[in-house]
Structure 1
């Protein structure tokens, strides 16, 4: 291997970062808009690994309060097991603050995260279902929803309520990144009593998350309010922690598991996994 270095990304690095991201097909749902890599630079940190001046890997973190959510760690195959990924991770994650990630089934990544102090807590399952009433669990009753045009202040309607609710269940405040996400094309925000849900149309499908609530039922209500507001979607996608009470209800209603990761954290009680459904890319 040639001369390598690891450093914080700058504007000129982004074409190389997106080239690596494209190799792993992680930007397919973000075409034609600011993407989660932009969010990591704005509301966290993005670090690149170079070999002989070429970017061969990167890692990204989003912060919410003191929590560091590791969203990405990718190294091109020919440079894996070279130490670049480990060095990127050490630059990204402070050792004295809480850390969270969604780990794939790559045994090398799992070992790396465990050595960083994180422990597996539960599976994170990626489910798809229909927005039709027939797919709603029995006993569901929709409540009012807050969305619509922006207020005079320019902020999305309901964002303050959503930020407050999210901070109580996700582990920390992230007003900046949530406001950024709510302002993207195709994104709607739904506030339902004690719950909130962000939703984004991706072609003909609806991605719901992050979602949270004061109770597991508030969280569930917000999911279905968001789904019910988009009856024309072909399918609804949501990430559900394995310990969330909503999971068996969705499966009984006919939703299907498409994929899964492992939720890992340094502090198991940090995120209220019975009241929170993360966004796959934003945490």
Structure 2
């Protein structure tokens, strides 16, 4: 095992495709891997110059996020994933760690042994926007620096302009205001459907309104995003024709408090 290098991008991409994780914001995207490498910690497991697996962590306002942990199926059951996780998180009692785990039968036990406990599901939802409430809050487009500063003020932690710069490559960043007060910060990317990639909203009382305002401001017919199972807007979304396409399981150390009113990126928090 060693730190991931630029020359490993092709191998990381191959592992990503072999594990059916080739969506945007994954190891299939060189810009995403470079963001992780430059702002977090990324490791590869290599045998005879072949990348067998990769894993990475990223600092976020809520703690250290395990962004990725994927092993080529040809190397499953050989301890590669356990070794990668142990190198990233060598102390099971360490604080402020979390990840969004897949439903793979080996994943949850691996994270539990690392000191994480399961919490709510992170639901991958998508649907039409025409039956959602019209946004009544103000939505302003901002640049990466302004978005990062606003997120830092809302959620704490150091500003992460690199994360928003990644989204702004073809997408947009914005703040949601209730009068003059910023209540949420988000980013979206085009597609079919469009993707609301993140929406930081620490106040659960404002979460539904902020979400509906952000979606309305996108001006698209369909949208997809990931939100906590307890999110205040979930019932309204389902009534408006949204569906749950998949879900991950939030695994965290007990000291991590993730706001239930936010929209999350599984890889960038």
Tell me whether the two structures share a fold, i.e. TM-score over 0.5: yes
Distance in 1 separating the partners of 2:22 and 2:30: 11
Does the Cα contact within 8 Å between 1:197 and 1:222 map onto a contact in 2?
A: no
Q: Which residue of 2 aligns with 1:135?
A: 132
Q: How many matched pairs?
A: 262
TM superposition score normalised by structure 1: 0.83
- 1:256 aligned to 243, 252, 267, which one? 243
2:153 alignment counterpart = 164
8 Å CA contact 2:202–2:259 kept in 1: the answer is: no
Q: Give unpaired runs (5+ residues) of structure 2.
A: none
Change in 2 beyond 3 A, CA 1:34/1:55: closer
Cα RMSD for the two superposed structures: 2.4
Q: 2 CA distance for matches of 1:247 and 1:219?
A: 11
- Listed as ranges, the matches of 1:116-265 within 5 Å are 116-132=114-130, 134-136=131-133, 141-147=135-141, 150=143, 155-167=144-156, 172-193=157-178, 194-202=183-191, 204-231=192-219, 233-265=220-252
Corresponding position of 1:281:
267
Query: 2:211 aligns to what SS in structure 1?
Result: helix
Give the drift of 1:27: 3.1
CA contact (8 A) 1:239 1:278 kept: yes
CA-to-aligned-CA distance 1:171-203 (integer Å, 9 cap, x gap): x4452443333432223323333122211113x
- Decide whether aligned partners of structure 1 residues 173 and 221 sit closer, same or farther in structure 2, where only a CA change above 3 A counts: farther
Q: CA 1:123–1:28 in 2, change beyond 3 Å: closer, same or farther?
A: closer
Is 1:84 matched up with 2:93? Answer: no
1-side partners of 2:265 and 2:25: how far apart? 13
In 2, the alpha carbon distance for the partners of 1:278 and 1:264 equals 14
- Alignment match, 1:64: 60
8 Å contact from structure 1 (residues 43, 62) kept in 2: yes
